Chains A and B, each alone.
Chain A
Amino acid sequence: MTAAVGPTDRPELGTQDHPLPPPDRTARSSPGASWAAFRAMLLRDFTILDKRLPQFVAGTVMQPLMLVFVLTYLFPKIGQAIGGGGGASRFSSLLMAGIVAQTIIFVGIFTVGTEMVRELGITGEMEDRLLAPTSVSLVAVEKIVSGGLQALFSAMVVFPIGAFVPSTPVYLDVQPVVLLTLTPLACLNAAALGLTMGSRFSPGTASYLFGVVALPLSFLGAIFYTWPSLTPVPALKYALLANPLVYVSEGFRAALVPSEPHLSLAVVYPAMIVSAVVFTVLGVRGLKQRVVT
């Protein structure tokens, strides 16, 4: 004989007499759970990158390769060397710093930015991430770390291109301490900028990301010229200080061709730190606004 199974004494939750208990936010954001979620999200990003590796490598390599090929190989070969015969080597060396900076910023904007636009507006993948036992801020920080690592990879790729593609010799007087401290900072800056852009653009306006943001940022980012050389155009020279790419370009100039005139590192480092913090805050805030709405 078995006991009859009847209704339990457990009260029905969600009623006026027995409201739902508040969510246990302490458990959701405990450091251990957050760290595990952070690592899992990072691993997920790199697993996706692994699947799309050929496209990522092609996309990363193509722009610096084309710039270096046209400006420092093709132009000298067809008699249009920038800087003339003797100055072509100098231009190529100056350009290297600018192209490293541009590549980092572009990878930051397009990897983090466009991915965010897609995940927020099209695939809804961001919702999955937000279900992780961690805060929205940490989800945003993970995006920055993931984008920063991809930007770091892209920066490394530029150097072999600069070593073997130009038809005029490129010489870099590498300052290891500056290079090793500046590069991670530049990568975080780029990814934070991408986060800010990605959280503010919708799929419908994402196409403007290139034309309205990336292109002016690039051409006015001291990539093809040094910031001090803009002295004949003082209004532009000082207006360009609002462009974060200028500090990255000039910082790499200090790290790679220190004998050339460049912005002082005493200006570059603080500006890059402030820029990274500001864009991180703006990006986190933008993401919070998007996921709440």
Chain B
Amino acid sequence: MARATRGIRRVLFVAALSLSAFAVAIVVLADDARLGCVTDAQRDPAYQARLLGQIEIERTEYEIAVTRDGQPVSGAKVCASVAMVGMEAMGVSDTAEETAPGIYKVAVVLEMSGGWRGSILITETGKPPVSVPLKFDVG
């Protein structure tokens, strides 16, 4: 067996490498944190989301406060998708990471000043995904 496979060692090595890369990729691609950006969601007035701090071109990260009936929403999958008004095709989106109960951090760069709009997609465990519209100006 060892003699037979001697001539195909590189093929076996690359196959093993590909299998490992495949396994890692599946774990990454199936990460529920990414779900928030993909799901079709309905609006629910009980949910609110707003960007915290000054919104400006220089920033690369923003914090979003997410609440349901005024209470912080913890442990949800959150994704921000925003685009400049009239330039929707130039949209950016990113999955958020919870930094404190109800506070989520996203890495997006708003490259131009002017009016922007988009939505925050929130998926709580066991609940249907919710979309909260967002509208703001970049100074």
Contact = CB atoms under 8 A, between A and B. Distances in A.
Given A168-B37, A169-B38, A160 B89 contact: no
Interface in B1-54: 4, 7-11, 14-15, 18-19, 21-22, 24-26, 28-31, 34-35, 37-40
B97 interface: no
A47 interface: yes
Question: Which of B18, B22, B31 lies at the interface centre, i.e. has the most chain A CB atoms within 10 A of its CB?
Answer: B18
Interface in A152-176: 153, 156-157, 159-160, 162-164, 168-174
B88 interface: yes
Q: What secondary structure prevails in chain A residues at the interface with B?
A: helix
- Give the interface size bracket for B toward A: 35 or more
B83 A156 contact: no
A169 B95 contact: yes
A111 interface: no
B115 interface: no
B71 to A, nearest CB: 26
A107 interface: no
Given A43-B8, A84-B91, A171 B35 contact: yes
B137 to A, nearest CB: 17
A171 B33 CA distance: 9
B89 A53 contact: no
Contacts of A84: 83, 88-89, 91
A70 B40 CA distance: 24
Contacts of B40: 90
A249 interface: no
B19 A169 contact: no
B87 A79 contact: yes
A220 interface: no
